[in-house]
């Protein structure tokens, strides 16, 4: 950057994607303020910035903030990652998800509007598409299958509403399957990487859902962060972009790269056999391109596998218990 450093705010900045967003911004010379309630995030993810004069951190819930709060003063770009990310528990706790992911977004939008932010970039989810046709374009019908997906989509609609009604410059990115170092290690049964990495550390077999041929559009987290920075600095507003690698990988391929034995567990209803982002628009509009191959990304994770040592260990019996409500609600 040249001239005076711009000021950015990263909500959920101690979390998985948020902390990598902080790294990128600091590396690019931005001033960075972080809000995180440390429920899903870890302060150690951003501890290496603690002595940087361009960095500050507040441990607080986004719903506690009101317009005029000093952390928003003079902010140029707001990157909104905060919210509840675990998918399976949303069946049991829908009110909590709606409060954090929808009302929490409203608080951040109002604070950003009052501060005159130049851009608000919302972290949306590809889960809004449900059981989608692939490759999936941004104009695909919306069909959320569970409360997490619904809450993230409603958060996006709120953000776009603030753009239309209040002229707040907003862009939204629908993330497909982000993976990488620092991915969640919460107590909830969730994303395949966190589950598998702890199983590998414990010498347990990988709990593969179904036959493992299902594919996911895995995108390495640093590529995600770069897309969000481009979405903030572009002149475009009111846009929605899909974000994936555009090259789905099977769970069986992931197991091959991680190395280990396998046990198969029942496929969950309401989950697609394939996620596959059509990334034509984001490549065209933002001149963005994924840089990290799946093989390289998995290698980077394995080099830091100790990060998942204190994550919960999931085995077939505990997974079955955790997903009882899921099966009861979503089975045909």
Which residues are part of the catalytic machinery? 148
Which two tokens mark 294?
């799946």
Specify which residues 123 forms β-bridges with: 173
| CB-CB contact of 88 with 190 (8 Å) | yes
Q: How many CB atoms lie within 10 A of CB 201?
A: 16
SS in 3 state form for 243-310?
A: ECCCCCEEHHHHHHHHCCCEEEECCCCCCCCECCECCHHHHHHHCCCCCCCHHHHHHHHHHCHHHHCC
The beta-strand segments (E) located in 6-51 are 7-11, 31-35
Quote the CA–CA distance of 191 and 100 in Å, as a whole number.
Answer: 19
Q: How many CB atoms lie within 10 A of CB 95?
A: 8
- Three-state SS at 131: coil
Which two tokens mark 74?
């003079």
Tell me the C-alpha to C-alpha distance, in Å, between residue 314 and each of 182, 185, 214, 260, 291: 18, 11, 20, 15, 32
Cα 13 to the chain's mean position, in Å? 11
**CA dihedral sign of residues 199, 277, 124, 58:** positive
Quote the CA–CA distance of 261 and 233 in Å, as a whole number.
Answer: 45
Quote the CA–CA distance of 211 and 115 in Å, as a whole number.
Answer: 51
């Amino acid at each position: 950057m040249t001239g005076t450093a711009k000021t950015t705010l990263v909500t959920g900045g101690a979390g998985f994607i948020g902390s990598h967003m902080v790294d990128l911004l600091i590396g690019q010379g931005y001033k960075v303020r972080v809000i995180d309630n440390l429920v899903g995030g870890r302060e150690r993810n951003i501890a290496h910035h603690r002595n940087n004069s361009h960095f500050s951190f507040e441990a607080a819930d986004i719903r506690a903030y009101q317009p005029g709060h000093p952390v928003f003063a003079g902010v140029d770009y707001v990157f909104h990652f905060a919210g509840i990310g675990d998918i399976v528990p949303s069946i049991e706790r829908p009110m909590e998800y709606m409060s954090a992911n929808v009302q929490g977004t409203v608080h951040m939008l109002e604070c950003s509007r009052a501060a005159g932010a130049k851009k608000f970039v919302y972290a949306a989810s590809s889960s809004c598409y449900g059981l989608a046709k692939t490759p999936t374009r941004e104009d695909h019908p919306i069909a959320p299958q569970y409360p997490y997906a619904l809450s993230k989509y409603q958060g996006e609609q709120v953000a776009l509403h603030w753009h239309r009604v209040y002229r707040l410059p907003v862009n939204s990115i629908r993330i497909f399957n982000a993976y990488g170092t620092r991915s969640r290690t919460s107590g909830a049964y969730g994303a395949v990487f966190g589950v598998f990495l702890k199983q590998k550390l414990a010498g347990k077999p990988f709990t593969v859902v179904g036959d493992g041929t299902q594919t996911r559009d895995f995108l390495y987290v640093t590529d995600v962060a770069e897309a969000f920075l481009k979405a903030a600095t572009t002149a475009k507003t009111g846009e929605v972009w899909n974000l994936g690698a555009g090259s789905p990988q099977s769970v069986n391929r992931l197991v091959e790269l991680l190395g280990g034995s396998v046990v198969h567990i029942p496929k969950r209803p309401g989950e697609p056999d394939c996620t596959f982002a059509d990334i034509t628009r984001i490549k065209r509009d933002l001149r963005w391109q994924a840089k990290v191959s799946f093989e390289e990304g998995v290698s980077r994770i394995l080099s830091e596998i100790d990060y998942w040592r204190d994550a919960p260990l999931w085995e077939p019996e505990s997974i079955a218990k955790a997903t009882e409500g899921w099966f009861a609600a979503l089975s045909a």
